[in-house]
Amino acid sequence: MSELTTVARPYAKAAFDFAVESGAVTQWHEMLNFAAEVAINDDIIAYLAGSHSPEVTSDLFVKVCGEQLNEQGQNFIKVLAENGRLVALPAVAVLFEEQKALYENEIEVDVTSATEISEAHLTTLVASLEKRLARKIKLNCNIDSSVVGGLLIRSGDTVIDATIRGKLERLSNVLQS
């Protein structure tokens, strides 16, 4: 996968730069996600593994995507096909999404709790995290009964352990030292 990421990086950057320049970041994000879903279809994977000309491959791919791709998106698919890089399209979509999140100053935060969190608490949590992390927050909420109580918040390298288990472990460490 790391090889595909290396191959996909310049394509994702070029697509993102063009999307920013043309003011169509959201549209490009949607197009690339759709095309990436097409690229992971078993029939398409088998077709791409065959020895077809780039023109035939790109024409088929564009026809399958239909109206989901605008003219620039179709040209992007043709460039990928000419360079034999259509298999890297899912990685291109992932890298594009990462650049989009940075551009929009947005970060994904995973929140794990023992029970479902109410809307009022979620609103308060988002406001607090936006203030602390200085970014827009996109929450991914999970329920895990082993948490017992409190919240476990993860965002990249940042971990905020406000669970009862975490507090007890910290208390135990303090008492033992």
- Cβ atoms of residues 7 and 91 within 8 Å: yes
pLDDT number for residue 15: 92
pLDDT number for residue 30: 93
146: exposed, middle or buried (Cβ count in 10 Å: 0-12, 13-18, 19+): exposed
Task: For the chain, give every domain's residue range.
Answer: 2-102, 105-176
Per-residue pLDDT of the chain (177 residues; tens, 9 = 90+): 567 788 889 999 999 999 999 888 899 999 999 999 988 888 888 877 777 787 888 888 888 888 888 899 889 989 988 888 888 899 999 999 988 888 888 888 899 998 888 899 999 989 998 888 888 888 889 998 888 788 889 987 888 888 888 888 888 889 987
Sequence letter at residue 72: Q
Helices 71-82 and 25-39: angle between axes, nearest 10 degrees: 50
For the segment(s) 2-102, the CATH number from 2.70.98.60, 3.40.930.10, 1.20.1250.20, 1.10.520.20 is 1.10.520.20
